[in-house]
Structures are given as structure tokens and as C-alpha cells.
């Protein structure tokens, strides 16, 4: 079901899972956690090399708040729909869990995490630093069939930075005017990208990645103890436009989450369908405000067994 992350030279390896009995880690204070209103994302460190549509930078303070109040001991933070991985990365960088598992179905996105975490970070940063960001160079990279996981990772970073909104779904188009009229180079920050990649690679002893189906992992994890799950699936409407793998059985996902022995936190778009699924499985729901990249205010949902920790 899952393709385990290859190590150096793209060779498969077996990952041993060491379950430990520990208490939840000591977490930062609440000074940067929202009491009311919308999170200021400028207060959350940018960790991911992706510009990821539907990213959850704005939710990081809420995740800190949740983890402080999780009652069961845990050793691993699991993100079954990792995408840009900002939540899992934040957990790893801030020491909020001893281990982080990123699971991603999209082969291109997973290739980036596999390359960074399994010995290819220097190769990737060398490619980024030397790349002449132009339409001709972009088209040359994207027209080639990747010969390795590393080549796929580099092409994915280029596509992500060149496409409008960072969208990687089929049919997404390249930027035209870009930021401040700078065109295709307006989102290409090689120094920043290389710095983020090196910092992630330095924590590879804490982070691992599996390329595979997040829903299947949740089903297989029903009886697992010692973990917490952050579940951020493709949303019911926007997911169809933003992601290659957007077709998910939301009813089955709720059923799998409700069967988890471990604690979990889900995030979803605010729709009647999702509220009804949460109610049918006896789950708690809270509304949380957020601001889109287009500066529009909207409400999303947090869902879990008990959200008494949520301060509003």
C-alpha cells in the first residue's frame, strides 16, 4: 500500500518503528496563540520549500494549543495528507513531538520530501542555486521525464514556484505578471529555498516520509497507541481545483478517524456535508477564522473527539 522512502541512491530500505512510552513534550507558552480573531501568519516561521495551496501556516498556533492539551502520551506526530508539510515541520522544529511522519500520495510532492530527508539535500540545493529562472529553462526541465527521485523533486520545486498560486494539479498555468510585475522569477528565492532545505535535512533524524494513501494509513492505524494524527485532507470543493489526488471518500475518512485509538485533529472547509459527518460520528466541531492569500476572511472547521482546549 505504501512506498517506503528510499535512502541514498534511491535504494529501498526497511524503516523500523520504535515505540516508546513517554509523556507528551513540554510545549511553548501561549503568548503567540490566538485568543480571538485571525492568526497573524507573520508570527509563524516559514519552514516549507513549497508554496502550497491550502497550506496551514495559519493553523500552527492552534496545533501547539492542541498538543499541549493532549492527554495521552505520544511519540510520533502523523500527518496523513502532508502536502507542503508546514504543520509537521513546525512540530519537528519546535520539538513538539520526538518523531514526525509525513504521508503524501502525490509522487511529485513526496519526491521532494524523500530527496531532502534521505541524503539528497545538497544535490537539490546545488540545482536550485544554479538554476536560471526563465521560461525557456522551466520548459526544458518540465519537458523531461524525471530519471530519478531527485530529478523529480527538482522539477516539482521548479513547477511549484513557477505556477500560479503554487498549484501542482494538472492544467495549472504558469504565472504571467507575478509579484510586482517580476514575472516567473517573482517567487524564485534560491537562497531562501536552499536555507529551508538545509534546515529540514538537519532534522532528518526526527522526520520520515512515506509515499502512499493517507486514508489507508488511518485505517491501518486504528489500534495504534503512542501517536497523534493531524488530518488535513483535500477539501470537498477547492480540492478538485488544487490537487492531483483530490478524489477522497470523506465519509470513509470520518469513519477511519473515529476508530482511531489515538488522539486526532481534523481541519475541513465549513460545509453542511462535513458538519453532518462530524455529527454522525459524535465528533466535536469548532469554527476557526482564517484569511486567504487574497485577504478574504473565511471560516474553516476544526474537528476532534473533544475540543475543550480550543480557546476561540
Give the whole-angstrom CA distance, residue 134 versus residue 175: 11
Residue 17 lies in a domain: no
Question: Do 129 and 259 sit in the same domain of this protein?
Answer: no
Task: Supply the pTM of this predicted model.
Answer: 0.81
- DSSP string covering the chain: --EEPP-GGG---PPPP-----PPPP---STTS-SSS---GGGSPP--S---TT--GGGHHHHHHHHHH--S--SEEEESS-TT-HHHHHHHHTTSSSEEEEEE--HHHHHHHHHHHTT-HHHHHHHHHH---SHHHHHHHHHSPPSSHHHHHHHHHHHHHHBGGG--STT--B-SS-GGG-GGGGG--HHHHHHHHHHHHTTTTTEEEEES-HHHHHHHTTT--SEEEEE-PPPTTTHHHH-SS----HHHHHHHHHT-SSEEEEEEE--HHHHHHHHHTT-EEEEEEEE-TTS-EEEEEEEES--TT---
Does residue 23 belong to any structural domain of this protein? Answer: no
What is the tally of structural domains in the chain?
2
Per residue in 66-124, pLDDT (tens digit) is: 999 988 889 999 999 999 999 999 999 999 999 999 999 999 999 999 999 999 999 99
> Which of 154, 182, 200 delimits the end of a domain?
200
Residue ending a domain, among 176, 200, 224, is 200
- Give the tens place of pLDDT for each residue, 37-67: 565 556 678 899 998 666 788 899 999 999 9
Residue 251: pLDDT over 50: yes
Domain enclosing residue 219, as ranges: 3-7+34-107+203-304
Residue 310 has pLDDT above 70, yes or no: yes
Residue 192 lies in a domain: yes
Q: 263 and 157 share a domain?
A: no
End-of-domain residue from the set 152, 185, 200: 200
Higher pLDDT, 278 or 6: 278
Please indicate, yes or no, whether residues 169 and 248 belong to a single structural domain of this protein. no
pLDDT at 162: 85
Residue whose grid cell is 469548532: 286
- Residue 132 sits in the same domain as residue 265: no
Give the CATH number for residue 228.
3.40.50.150
Q: Answer yes or no: do 102 and 246 share one domain.
A: yes
- Nine cell digits for residue 229: 494524527
Residue 226 domain-assigned (yes or no): yes
Asked if residue 212 and residue 291 are part of one domain, the reply reads yes
Residues 53 and 194 grouped into a single domain: no
Residues 102 and 127 in one domain: no
Write the pLDDT tens digit of every residue in 166-216: 666 666 656 565 555 556 666 789 999 999 999 999 999 999 999 999 999
- Give yes or no: residues 100 and 224 share one domain: yes
Same domain, 161 and 212: no
A 10 A CB-CB count for 225 gives: 13
Same domain, 70 and 151: no
Structural domain includes residue 73: yes
* pLDDT one-digit tens code per residue, 119-147: 999 999 999 999 998 889 989 998 999 99
- Is residue 27 one of the residues assigned to a domain? no
Question: Quick check: is 309 in a domain?
Answer: no
Specify whether 92 is located in the same domain as 161: no
> Does residue 217 lie within any of the structural domains?
yes
Report the pLDDT averaged over residues 137-161. Answer: 93
Q: CA-CA distance, 30 to 17, in Å (whole number)? A: 32
Q: How confident is the model at residue 235 (pLDDT cuts 50, 70, 90)?
A: low
Amino acid at each position: 500500500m505504501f512506498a517506503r522512502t528510499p535512502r541514498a541512491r534511491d535504494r529501498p530500505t526497511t524503516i523500523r518503528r520504535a515505540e516508546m512510552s513517554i509523556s507528551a513534550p513540554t510545549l511553548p507558552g501561549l503568548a503567540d496563540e490566538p485568543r480571538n480573531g485571525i492568526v497573524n501568519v507573520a508570527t509563524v516561521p516559514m519552514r516549507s520549500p513549497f508554496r502550497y495551496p491550502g497550506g496551514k501556516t495559519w493553523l500552527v498556533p492552534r496545533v501547539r494549543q492542541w498538543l499541549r492539551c493532549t492527554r495521552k502520551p505520544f511519540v510520533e506526530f502523523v500527518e496523513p495528507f502532508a502536502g507542503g508539510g508546514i504543520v509537521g515541520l513546525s512540530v519537528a522544529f519546535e520539538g513538539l513531538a520526538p518523531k514526525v511522519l509525513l504521508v503524501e500520495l502525490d509522487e511529485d510532492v513526496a519526491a521532494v520530501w524523500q530527496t531532502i530527508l534521505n541524503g539528497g539535500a545538497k544535490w537539490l540545493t546545488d540545482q536550485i542555486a544554479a538554476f536560471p529562472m526563465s521560461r525557456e529553462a522551466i520548459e526544458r526541465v518540465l519537458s523531461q521525464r524525471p530519471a530519478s527521485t531527485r530529478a523529480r523533486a527538482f522539477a516539482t520545486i521548479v513547477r511549484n514556484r513557477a505556477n500560479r498560486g503554487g498549484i501542482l494539479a494538472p492544467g495549472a498555468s504558469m504565472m504571467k505578471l507575478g509579484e510586482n510585475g517580476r514575472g516567473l522569477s517573482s517567487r524564485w528565492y534560491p537562497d531562501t529555498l536552499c536555507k529551508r532545505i538545509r534546515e529540514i535535512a538537519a532534522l532528518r533524524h526526527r522526520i520520515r516520509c512515506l509515499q502512499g494513501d493517507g486514508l489507508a494509513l488511518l485505517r491501518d492505524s486504528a489500534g495504534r497507541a503512542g501517536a497523534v494524527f493531524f488530518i488535513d485532507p483535500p477539501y470537498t470543493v477547492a480540492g478538485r481545483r488544487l490537487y492531483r489526488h483530490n478524489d477522497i471518500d470523506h465519509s470513509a475518512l470520518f469513519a477511519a478517524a473515529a476508530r482511531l485509538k489515538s488522539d486526532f485533529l481534523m481541519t475541513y472547509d465549513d460545509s453542511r456535508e462535513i458538519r453532518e459527518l462530524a455529527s454522525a460520528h459524535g465528533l466535536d466541531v469548532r469554527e476557526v477564522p482564517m484569511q486567504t492569500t487574497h485577504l478574504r476572511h473565511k471560516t474553516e472547521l476544526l474537528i476532534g473527539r473533544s475540543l475543550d482546549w480550543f480557546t476561540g
